[in-house]
Structure 1
Amino acid sequence: MNIHSGVKLIFVMAAFLFLAACGQKELEDPLEWEISNIEGTSQSGEDFSVEEMEGKVWMANFIFTSCETVCPPMTRNMAQLQEKFKEKGIEAEFVSFSVDPEVDTPEKLEEFATAHGADLETWSFVTGYSQDEIEAYGQESFRTIVSKPEGADQVTHGSSFFLVSKDSKVMKHYKGDTNVPYEKIVEDAKILAEQ
């Protein structure tokens, strides 16, 4: 092979690699919020740890079972999203953190999950930490409010859905209570799952 054809081959290979890289979609404006670990208990009474989610794409939200406003519709919306992921073959997990851990037992969470259409094969409803822990965790890792005033039975919390990458970073957040952008979430999750 002469120098001329060697140079030509290098250019062809470089062009091919460039085009191959262009074929892999990237998320638009990823948030890249680092999240820390929290440990708890799932609806089935098993130990749960965010550290164990490493290497998986997952969706997260914050709910509680005696919620009188956004939690039932949010959970039904997340169940619809779970169904759409299955239809598209997107491998992902779902996690709902209870913001009322002293009230929400694993049994109550399982009942709530089942009542709102959650498929518990790939969806964990988590409790078993303290109120202070989940309030700090929501604020520090997901930049969302979690607050249960003294003596109250309702908890103030955000209604977003969060998309978390395989390396435990919040990449996107979306409306979770009404006008959920299902197609956008599916598209974004597919990009992360394929990375």
Structure 2
Amino acid sequence: MKKWKKGFVALLSCFFIVLVGCNQTAHDHSSGEKEMQVTSHESASMTHQSFQPTATLGSQVKDFRFTDQEGKEFGLQDLKGKVWVADFIFTRCTHICPLTMPIKVKLDQELRKKGLDVPFVSFTVEPDHDSPVVLKDFAKKYSDDLHKSHYLTGYSFEQIQKFAKSSFGQELIQMDSGVKHGRSFYIIDTSGKVVKEFDGTEPDYHHMLQEIQSVPTS
């Protein structure tokens, strides 16, 4: 009888230990999920807060003539008399570009609905890799209609680095993981001056449309 009681007590103790262990594991897993959620939320918040406009409004975009995704020359003279949108991208970008590209495409669609002729000009910051063919394949992942979109290459990194700084105040930094660049959408008026700047990761289409429409066209 005593042996039976001892065995029962030992079995009960083992069950209790296993139960506590399972509860602790579930608690740790739940805590881990919550921590990941908080970290993700904080990361998104930091991304939003870290946006800093770079352009000096009213500054003139420097003259350029590069190569677009069709292999054709395209430059500032082709934009004369038009309000247009500029940004900086590269096809191997994994942080900023996947956020800004869909917003840019949607903004283009909204502008067309209103009958507005607003070209979008994207300068790659990795020209050694982003050939016209690579740029076109990249752009088509987001939209089949590239009629008003110009993805430019055909220059050295040093050239685009200087151009980005002098025209838009944007710093391009070469890193092991790629090129660090900003996420701004720049609005350029008919005379080639930067007149507005937006956070390209914020899909406030109503505000952007209003601001673009407010730019004088003559």
Distance 2:127 2:144 in 1: 19
Which residue in 2 is equivalent to 1:58? 84
Query: Number of paired residues?
Result: 163
Letter in 2 for 1:56: K
Distance 2:73 2:153 in 1: 10
Letter in 1 for 2:82: K
Gaps of 5+ in 2: 1-55
Alignment of 1:29-40 (within 5 A): 31-40=57-66
Which residue in 1 is equivalent to 2:148? 122
Normalized per residue, the structure richer in strand is 1
Structure 2 residue matching 1:189: 3-state secondary structure: helix
User: Which of 174, 182, 185 in structure 1 is aligned with 2:205?
Assistant: 182
Distance 1:155 1:111 in 2: 20
Structure 2 residue matching 1:155: 3-state secondary structure: strand
Which residue in 2 is equivalent to 1:43? 69
Which residue in 2 is equivalent to 1:155? 179
Relative to the length of structure 1, the TM-score reads 0.79
Letter in 1 for 2:200: G
Normalized per residue, the structure richer in helix is 2
Relative to the length of structure 2, the TM-score reads 0.71
Q: CA RMSD in A?
A: 1.5
Alignment of 1:13-162 (within 5 A): 31-117=57-143, 119-149=145-175, 152-162=176-186
Letter in 2 for 1:88: K
Distance 2:168 2:203 in 1: 18
Identity %: 31
Deviation at residue 185 of structure 1 after TM alignment: 1.5
Letter in 2 for 1:161: F
Residues 67 and 74, structure 2, Cα contact 8 Å, conserved in 1? yes
> Structure 1 pair 71/104, CA: closer, same or farther in 2 (3 Å)?
same
Structure 2 residue matching 1:192: 3-state secondary structure: coil
